[in-house]
Amino acid sequence: MNIVFVLILASLAGGLAGLLFFGGLWWTLRRALASPRPALWFVSSLILRSGVTVAVFLLVGAGDWQRLLVCLLGFWAARQLVVRVTAPATTASPVISVESCHAPGP
Could you report the per-residue pLDDT of 22-79, keeping only the tens digit for each? 999 999 999 999 999 999 999 999 999 999 999 999 999 888 899 999 999 999 999 9
CA atoms within 13 A on the CB side of 64: 12
Say if 103 falls within a structural domain.
no
Domain residues for the domain of 68 are 3-85
In a domain? residue 106: no
User: Structural domain tally of the chain?
Assistant: 1
102 has pLDDT over 80 = no
What is the C-alpha separation between 69 and 74, in angstroms, rounded? 9
**Domain annotation covers residue 98:** no
Query: 38-61 and 3-33 are packed helices; what angle lies between their axes, rounded to 10 degrees?
Result: 180
97 assigned to some structural domain: no
Span 2-19, average pLDDT = 94
In a domain? residue 81:
yes
In a domain, 49, yes or no: yes
pLDDT above 90 (res 105): no
Its pTM stands at 0.77
Helix (H, G, I), strand (E, B) or coil at 61: helix
- Residue 26: inside a domain: yes
